[in-house]
């Protein structure tokens, strides 16, 4: 860690505020785009089209891909922060806060969800499906209104961990370098962590690393999202709590079921069910109690729950900073 606890808390709080206000930067190039380019180049090197390695060798090459990527992301940020500190401590603070903000995507998630919500609420299912295809890997071409809304809600709720709680936790533990290491691991999972013929072996290490890094933040999400539901009219913290304990372990992911169950319980809807991935039908566990049919307006509830969760964490970080400072 480059900074004291007091400095780290303030930098993390500033990063959350920057994301709320600015969101994903359009310039300079977003760090996640650079990480993605690195992953693509490493993949071409480690798994060329001309090679046909055994499953065991593919796993080893996948381990190399994961290690090189996260180490490069950490080292690059560590060097940048060191250089900024050398110029002036305030430059280091500002650079760290900005880079941590690029690992958070509360505003980005809200904007993406609203792109699905607006046409869906207006009755334009085709446009809503189009924008849903930007945020999910499942086939969106045949989804009805309910499944289109569900895809947006599941994305927002699952990414309450991936795009907010996890990067914040790692920023608090190790500043911008560790937050960027997490973002690199999460990008690896989104690019190669699939259980299809192409990546089942090569992406194994990336998927397992992402699961391990999200393990504690996902469980924190169950608590914080339940508390956040108590702050929002129309949402039920009691149902959120019961849903996590009833449905979370049914999800194929060791982590994603927790925020998705919390959101489903809080809103009073059912998530999960039939999805199509790469031409294959997947029947996911159903989470929550369908107290009423799922509708477009439930996307707004998921976004509100995301923001309430981020506000609770922000207040907690600022409160801890005040205690440490006094």
pLDDT at 2 over 80: no
Sign of CA dihedral 91, 93, 98, 102: positive
Helices (H), the chain: 5-21, 31-46, 55-87, 89-103, 106-121, 125-135, 145-160, 166-192, 204-230, 237-247, 257-267, 297-325
Q: Between 27 and 173, name the one with better pLDDT.
A: 173
Strand-pairing partners, residue 280, are 277
Q: Between 316 and 23, name the one with better pLDDT.
A: 316
Distances (CA, A) of 326 to 93, 316, 321: 21, 15, 9
CB of 324 closer than 8 Å to CB of 6? yes
pLDDT at 48 over 90: no
CB atoms within 10 A of CB 93: 18
Kindly provide the b/e burial profile for residues 199-219, where b requires at least 16 CB atoms within 10 angstroms of the residue's own CB: bebbbbbbbebbbebbeebbe
Locate 148 and state its tokens: 């289109």
CA atoms within 13 A on the CB side of 169: 18
Q: Respond yes or no on whether the N-terminal peptide bond of residue 27 is cis (omega within 30° of 0).
A: no
**pLDDT 10s digits, 170-189:** 999 999 999 999 999 999 99
Q: Provide the pLDDT for residue 51.
A: 67
Using pLDDT thresholds of 50, 70 and 90, give the confidence band for residue 24: confident
pLDDT at 78 over 80: yes
**pLDDT 10s digits, 221-268:** 999 999 999 999 999 999 999 999 999 999 999 999 999 999 999 999
Mean pLDDT of 120-149: 94
What is the spatial distance between Cα 143 and Cα 139, in angstroms, rounded to a whole number? 8
Q: Which of 166, 153, 143 is nearest to 265 (CA)?
A: 153
Query: Looking at residue 248, what DSSP letter applies?
Result: G
Q: Between 283 and 187, name the one with better pLDDT.
A: 187
Provide the 3-class DSSP secondary structure of residue 253: coil
Distances (CA, A) of 162 to 211, 214, 276, 320, 326: 10, 7, 22, 23, 32
Among the ranges given (10-14, 48-52, 301-305), the one the predictor scored with the smallest mean pLDDT = 48-52
Q: Provide the pLDDT for residue 280.
A: 79
Mean pLDDT of 181-202: 94
């Amino acid at each position: 860690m480059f900074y004291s606890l007091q400095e780290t808390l303030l930098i993390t709080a500033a990063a959350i505020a920057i994301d709320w206000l600015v969101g994903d930067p359009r310039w300079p190039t977003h760090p996640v785009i650079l990480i993605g380019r690195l992953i693509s180049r490493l993949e071409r090197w480690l798994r060329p089209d001309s090679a046909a390695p055994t499953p065991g060798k593919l796993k080893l090459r996948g381990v190399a891909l994961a290690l090189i990527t996260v180490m490069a992301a950490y080292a690059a940020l560590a060097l940048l922060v060191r250089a900024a500190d050398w110029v002036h401590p305030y430059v280091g603070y500002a650079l760290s806060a900005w880079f941590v903000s690029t690992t958070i995507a509360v505003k980005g998630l809200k904007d993406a969800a609203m792109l699905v919500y607006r046409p869906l609420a207006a009755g334009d299912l085709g446009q809503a499906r189009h924008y849903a295809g930007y945020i999910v890997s499942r086939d969106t071409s045949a989804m009805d209104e309910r499944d289109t809304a569900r895809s947006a809600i599941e994305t927002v709720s699952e990414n309450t961990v991936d795009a907010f709680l996890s990067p914040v936790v790692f920023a608090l533990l190790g500043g911008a370098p560790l937050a960027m290491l997490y973002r690199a691991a999460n990008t690896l999972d989104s690019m190669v962590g699939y259980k299809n013929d192409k990546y089942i072996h090569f992406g194994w290490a990336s998927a397992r690393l992402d699961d391990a890094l999200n393990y504690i933040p996902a469980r924190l999400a169950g608590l914080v999202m339940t508390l956040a539901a108590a702050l929002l009219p129309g949402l039920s913290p009691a149902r959120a709590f019961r849903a996590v304990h009833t449905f979370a372990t049914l999800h194929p992911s060791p982590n994603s079921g927790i925020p998705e169950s919390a959101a489903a319980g809080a809103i009073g809807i059912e998530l999960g069910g039939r999805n199509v991935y790469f031409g294959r039908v997947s029947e996911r566990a159903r989470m929550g109690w369908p107290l009423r049919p799922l509708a477009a307006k439930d996307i707004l509830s998921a976004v509100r729950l995301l923001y309430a969760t981020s506000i609770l964490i922000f207040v907690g970080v600022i409160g801890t900073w005040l205690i440490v400072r006094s």
